[in-house]
Amino acid sequence: MAKFQEYPLLALRGRVVFPDTTVNFDIGRMISLTAVKYASERDSRIFVCAQKEAEKEEITTTDVYLTGTVVKLRQITRLPGSNLRLSVEGLFRATAKQVRTEEGTFVAVVEEISPVHGDKTLEEAYFRTCKEIMRDITSSENRFPKDASSNLDKCADADGFVNLAAHYLPLKVADKQKLLECARTSERLQTLDRFLNEELEIMRLERKINAAVRQNIDKNQKEYYLREQLKAIHGELGDDGEECDELENKIKERGFPEEVEKKALKELSRMSRMQTSSPDYNVLRVYLDWLLDIPWTETTADTPLLSDAVKILDGDHYGLEKIKERITEYLAVLKRTGGLNAPILCFVGPPGVGKTSIASSVARALGRKFVRMSLGGVKDEAEIRGHRKTYVGSMPGRIISGMKKAGSVNPVFLLDEVDKISADLRGDPADALLEVLDPAQNSTFVDRYIEIPYDLSKVLFITTANGLDTIPAPLLDRMEIIELTGYTSEEKREIAKRYLIPKKREANGLKSSEISISEKALDAIIDGYTMEAGVRNLERKIDAVCRKAAVRLSDGTATKISVTEKNLESFLGAKKYFRDGNMLDSNEVGAATGLAWTSVGGTTLTIEVSAMHGKGDILLTGKLGDVMKESARAAISYIRSNSAAYGIDGEVFEKTDIHIHVPEGATPKDGPSAGITMATAILSAFTGKPVKKSIAMTGEITLRGKVLPIGGLKEKALAAYRIGIRDVIIPADNKKDLEDVPETVRGSINFIPVSEVDSVFKSAIIGI
């Protein structure tokens, strides 16, 4: 009658344990650790079986073979972490009749597999054959343990021989499992015989392959010995280790900080013990070159006189008084204290206002080296922190590369387009930049390639951005924001006369006596061919004029070119923009002009409202985000609730559909503070009274009719000024921001501060 016993089950990956053998292996899964603990508390016996899919981490009772070996735990050794190393002795084969989960592990009810003998003569024949082949294999293979051949020869039991042979042979798990599961001894011997013959054939092929490889290796060894002999000859001649000695002298003369010199000498010592043909030799050689090339203590002297720095800034840029004032403050404090935790300046403004060129001018004004690094499209954190030098093709990050290029520890370092960095599976560069830009951390910045803390605290970091919305908040918190808004037409004219025309004239090989551009022609270019906050397109148009002039001078058509307002179209073609192009053509019903801020400067937008017979539906079209939709509904609700005050029949709203439309290209940004503009257009549509064409407005509306403050007043004022609007309604709370508006604009525009939407209607709608 079968005898059933219950043991904890231990599943092994890629291993089959046989009786009559002692096996060592490591375990770490919780289910395995629990099984060993359970066995240790009983009789130290455990049922060991193989896992069907070795790579599978989480297993169930169906993921293991049911035939295994009951073993005795002989030794348990604790490893670092929670892993254990077990030494077990195989006792007997067994088949699991039932496997269940209990207290975090598997428990198996097993039945011992007893050997089944048949024809004794056949068994003896297979036994002798297997022994003979096994003897050939163990005698010619060094990979078997020394006692393997002796143990196999001494074995007189056929089943025990199969267990030992399967234990020593490098068979697949599935093949070993077959030998474990066979009940009949003759069948086990026959299967082992087949495996042994296959192994013998594999050994013959391996010897043949090894012979061919050895012939190749012998050639390489010969070359190695010759190189060693040559090296010895060089040693006798006195030039051994010349490169290492030269590097050692450079390191000691370099004046490294103590920690850096210690690291460099340690890596040099490792390199000197390597063969020059070794890949690691070249890795260390390049690493030492980087340590020697990076500035560790070299500095440049700052401009001693404030007046000299101011002259350089004034000579390079027109206006920008706030920035010049900030740099002057920095120099003044540096001069008095002799040191300063360098601030992180962030220039924010539309494209073309000169953010990058200002940073370059700051470096010239301070007398420092200038380095620029563009962050646009950077996704990999390693671009900032570098790669470990163990990787193939590794190199330092772009911060350390920039410092190498600067050659000093106190350059002006420009991080361009900080608002355009992004993240992917390789990490977030913004997180890496925190260590670079935080004054509390950047004195010990660690690049993964260099592996030594590097001091960035003396660097004047300047960042640029078109907008603040996409800059991560922790990064933004570490920067001092300086806004560069757009230029007025007068400022653009001065910039063109002082900088752009001389620059483009020289770039196109023209002399000042060969071309002249009148002020009226400049004004026509600014108003008729560009519509921007900065001067980038203006520079392109002046370049186009110079190119056309160069052609006419080269082909002999003219000897001197005078560009005037009258002949400008012959250089640039027909006008693209008109000063009043975005103004209403006349005083219109149901249309009002609003002002918006965008990442490329201020702009105007026309809001149109149409009231038509219907069921009281509200239709919103155009490029409207959630904020604008909320503003539209708030405006409608206010007018409906106060309809009687404006002579509107309250019941008309239930029979009228309201269509509010903002042209697609009006603004690329949600929330342009258009609440009062929408309310004005809606009231005009329902009262039939026109809105003044010469007035623009900005501000948000509440359900109580209050006008809320807005941002970007300067940019919006410049946009109104560009198209010729001279009356602008603004929230009363924004009066304080008018001091940021250029004096030319303040003198040309009548700003109407309001706190109630009723005042907006009276100022904008004729007849209210």
Active site residues: 673, 716
Using alpha carbons, select from 4, 120, 106, 93 the residue that is nearest to residue 51: 106
Please give the backbone phi and psi of residue 148, each rounded to the nearest 5 degrees, phi first. -65, -50
How does DSSP classify residue 379? -
In order of 99, 115, 146, the CA distances from 134 in angstroms are 36, 22, 14
Q: Residue 612 is which amino acid?
A: M
Please give the backbone phi and psi of residue 102, each rounded to the nearest 5 degrees, phi first. -150, 120
Rounded CA gap, 259 and 338, in Å? 25
What does DSSP say about strands 656-662 and 618-622: parallel, antiparallel, or unpaired? parallel
Rounded CA gap, 310 and 362, in Å? 10
Using alpha carbons, select from 659, 639, 678, 703 the residue that is nearest to residue 764: 678
Please give the backbone phi and psi of residue 553, each rounded to the nearest 5 degrees, phi first. -70, -35
Give the rounded distance of the alpha carbon of 541 from its chain centre: 36
Helix, strand, coil tally for the chain in percent (to 5):
45, 20, 35
Q: What is residue 504's three-state secondary structure?
A: helix
Query: Can you read off the two tokens belonging to residue 728?
Result: 């602008």
Burial of 22-46, coded b for 16+ CB within 10 Å and e otherwise, reads ebebebebebbbbbbebbeeeeeeb
In order of 353, 366, 536, the CA distances from 483 in angstroms are 10, 21, 18
Q: What is residue 305's three-state secondary structure?
A: coil
Q: Residue 53 is which amino acid?
A: E
Query: Can you read off the two tokens belonging to residue 591?
Result: 């249309």
For the beta sheet containing 460-465, the strands, ordered from the edge strand earlier in sequence to the opposite edge, are: 370-374, 412-416, 460-465, 345-348, 480-483
Q: What is residue 105's three-state secondary structure?
A: strand
Are the CB atoms for 438 and 390 separated by under 8 Å?
Answer: no
Query: Can you read off the two tokens belonging to residue 76?
Result: 């348990």
Point out which residues pair with 345 in neighbouring strands: 462, 480
Q: Residue 653 is which amino acid?
A: F
User: H helices within 80-143, ranges in order?
Assistant: 120-140
Residues 6+ apart with CB under 8 A from 369: 300, 363, 406, 407, 408, 411, 412
- The Cβ-side half-sphere exposure at 113, using a 13 Å CA radius, reads 21
Rounded CA gap, 666 and 604, in Å? 7
User: H helices within 689-728, ranges in order?
Assistant: 713-722
Rounded CA gap, 607 and 666, in Å? 9
Q: Residue 96 is which amino acid?
A: A
Rounded CA gap, 548 and 558, in Å? 11
Q: What is residue 338's three-state secondary structure?
A: coil
Rounded CA gap, 603 and 535, in Å? 16
Query: Can you read off the two tokens belonging to residue 739?
Result: 């001091």
